[in-house]
Each structure stands twice: as C-alpha cells, then as structure tokens.
Structure 1
Amino acid sequence: MKKSILRGLLLGGALLCSLPGFALSEAGTQSLRHLQNRWAEINYQLPEAQREAAFERLAGEAEAALKSEPNSAELLTWRGIVLSTWAGAKGGLGALDLAKQARASLEQALATDPKALDGSAYTSLGSLYYQVPGWPIGFGDDERAEGLLKQALGLNPKGIDPNYFYGDFLFRQKRYPEALGALQRALAAPPRPGREVADAGRHKEIETLLGKVRVELK
C-alpha cells in the first residue's frame, strides 16, 4: 500500500466543537480542552513534516486522559479524532491500523452517548468511512459514510464541521450543487468561542473546496 493512500485525512477537524456542559469532571474538561487546542495547533500551525510525531504524542495524551474517565464519550470521540488525523499524517499500512483504532473509539463513543459534543462522533466516523479505501484494502463505505454524516447534521444542522465534511463527501461524489449548499452553510456557521485557531483553519479549507466546486459548476 502506498504511503499516500490515507494521507490527507481530514478527520481530526470533525470534532472541533464546544466543550460539554455535563458528564466530564473538571479535570476531564481540562483534558478535553487541551486535546482540542493542541490538535488545532498541530493541524493548522505546525509544519507538515512535524505533524506525524506530534499527533503520536497527542494520541498518548488522549489515552492517558481516558484512563481517568474511560466511559467519557467526549474523550473517546477525541481519541478517535487524534488517531484518525495521525493516520492521515502517517500514511500506508500503519495508517490503516490507526484508522481501525479510530473507528473503534468512535463507535464506543456513540454507544456511550451519541449526542455528546453535538453528535460529533457521527461526523468523524462518517468522514472516516469515505476517506479510508474500501474493500479489499480497507473498510471504506460511501453509503455508510453518508448515513452517518446525515445523522450528524440531524443533531447539529448549522455546525461548521458536519456541513463541511458533508460538502467534501458530496464533492468527491461529484454532486456539485449539493456540495455548494453544504459548504455555504459551513461558511455561515457561527464562530466557536475559544476555537479561533480551529475556525480560521477550517474556513480556509472551506474556501479552498468552494473554489473547486465552483470550477466544476461552470
């Protein structure tokens, strides 16, 4: 398998949402905030060559946080995010193994509390299913991906991330008019307090993808 197969996974960004108002202890909430902020720094500010090692370290921190609160859907979700983004930075067979670990963590989060973080585990898992290669290489499944992304939008219809990832999915499916609408909704999403780095990075990704969609619609 070529290293580039999983390079470019966008999954980590699927869960840059607000902090939960319940379930986590104060220490758990601080851990979650750290994972969110550090993820944004690595993904949007660190040179690409340094990201794989940085995501590996962050995955270790996510695992450590879960030892204190193993049933936290929020932390399970973020472990999945970090693992999947690490997979994108790594590429190759090792990336596929990380993607499988991410899937397991996200599925566990959904089994624990599917509404945690505005249903963000649906967004991240859906993103995983359309970006990982399908059989016989991986477990990718476009039909499954769309179903999960629609569930995410059902819980968070105005969210920047579910609309962005659904727009990206639709673009890859060559459903350009639908992709345009989803991306415009993503661009119009309200800012997230404390998530300035994440929002700025995501907006750049939206604008880039919108440009590609508009070219196809000409």
Structure 2
Amino acid sequence: MKVSIKHLFAAVTLFASSTVLADVLADIKPLQDRWAEVNYALPEDDREKAFAELLANADKVVGGNPDKAEALIWRGIIKSSYANAKGGLGALSVAEGSKADLEQALKLDPTALQGSAYTSLGVLYSKVPGWPIGFGDNKKAKELLLKALEQNPQGIDPNYFYADYLAGKRDWAEALRYLEIAKAAQPRPGRESADAGRQQEIAALLAKVQKKLKK
C-alpha cells in the first residue's frame, strides 16, 4: 500500500504530540500526588509551608515545560491552594499569580486536562474578594464553571465546584443536582487520594444542602 508523504507526516506529528503529552503528564504526577496529600492529609496549620515548598517544585516543572498548559494548570492549582492556606491580604498576590497561570493555560490549550483551567479559574473568581480589594466576580465565576462543565460534564471537580457555587447562592435544589453527579463520577486512575478527599467534601456539602432543603 502506498503511503503519501502527507499521511506519513501526520502520523509522525501525532506520535510526537502523544510523546510530549506523556512526558508532561509524568512531570505533573508528583505535583498531583503531593497536592492531594497536603490538601487532605496534613493538619491545617502545616499546609501553608507545605504548599510553598510544592510551589517551588511546580516552578521547576513549568520551567521544563513552559509551553504546556498542563504544567501551568497545576502550578495555578497549587498557587490557589497556597493562597487559601495563607489567607489574608497577603494571599491576594498569590491568587493573582494563579489567575495568570490559568489564563495562560487557556490560551495554550483550553481543552487540557478536560478543561481544568476553567474549573480552577472559576473557583478563583468565586472565592477571591471583589473590587476594590481583589478580582473576584460572581458572574465571571459562573461563566467559567459552566465552560468547565461543557468540557467535562460528568467530572467530579467541575460538578462539585459548580454545586459549591450554587450553594453559595442558596440555590439548594440545583446544588443538589450537581452534587449527585459529582458523587457518581467515575474514579480517576492514579488520582485515588484526590478522589477520596473530594468525595469527603462532596459528602459534607451534600449534608448541608439536604438539611437546607428539608427546612
């Protein structure tokens, strides 16, 4: 069978792209594992220092993968978690850094990690104070979280965080609907610790929502 140069080039390009993706996924795996450990297993008082140390590792991963959305997404997630652990006005500059990473990831590849940049950026806009203190914006948060759901409609994270957003708006019935989807989400291979921790958060929010609906 005769193979055209065009088809051969396409096959080589696809193979190269798959190899590059595999490489960056291998690079971010230790970040994912440690993030889950810090976020769900460490005492709250120990998290700020641990996230600061993890951020240094994320800087190295991004340094080796400066044009890869996946690396920027995970540095953005770690910065967001670090800002949350840090608290106060001092956390705002860290949150700004997270926002910059996630926005850059969206420019590079909005579909990376099933649209995770949309989820994390939506959470930032939801949780950070609004003007004049910070960049928080509920309308923007909703827009981003809905885009995340378009990318990954059955995913545990986009459904949980949109439910959390809805609960913040006291839309208990809709929050319950998305929590049920999050609870039934398929396990993510290699993300067992993160899934277990997220399911605990889902259970806690579910109990709160169900209590509100019974009133």
Scaled by the length of structure 2, the TM-score of the pair is: 0.89
Give the structure 2 partner of residue 134 of structure 1: 130
**Deviation at 1:29?**
2.5
For 1:1-218, what aligned pairs fall within 5 Å after superposition?
A: 23-24=20-21, 26=23, 28-218=24-214
Distance change >3 Å, CA 22–CA 172, structure 1 → 2: farther
Q: Which amino acid aligns with 1:145?
A: A
Per-residue CA deviations over 1:109-159 (Å, capped at 9, x if unaligned) read 000000000000000000000001111111100000000000000010000
Distance change >3 Å, CA 46–CA 191, structure 1 → 2: same
Q: Which amino acid aligns with 2:197?
A: G
Return the alpha-carbon distance in structure 1 between the equivalents of residues 164 and 44 of structure 2: 21
Give the structure 1 partner of residue 4 of structure 2: none
Q: Secondary structure at the match of 2:21?
A: coil
Return 5+ residue gaps in structure 1 as ranges. Answer: 1-19
Aligned residues: 198
- Look at both structures and tell me which one has the larger radius of gyration over its CA atoms: 2
**Contact 1:168 1:179 (C-alpha < 8 Å) held by counterparts:** yes
Distance change >3 Å, CA 48–CA 178, structure 1 → 2: same
**Deviation at 1:25?**
5.4
RMSD of aligned residue pairs (Cα, Å): 1.3
Return the alpha-carbon distance in structure 2 between the equivalents of residues 21 and 171 of structure 1: 39
Scaled by the length of structure 1, the TM-score of the pair is: 0.88
Return 5+ residue gaps in structure 2 as ranges. Answer: 1-16
**Contact 2:25 2:70 (C-alpha < 8 Å) held by counterparts:** no
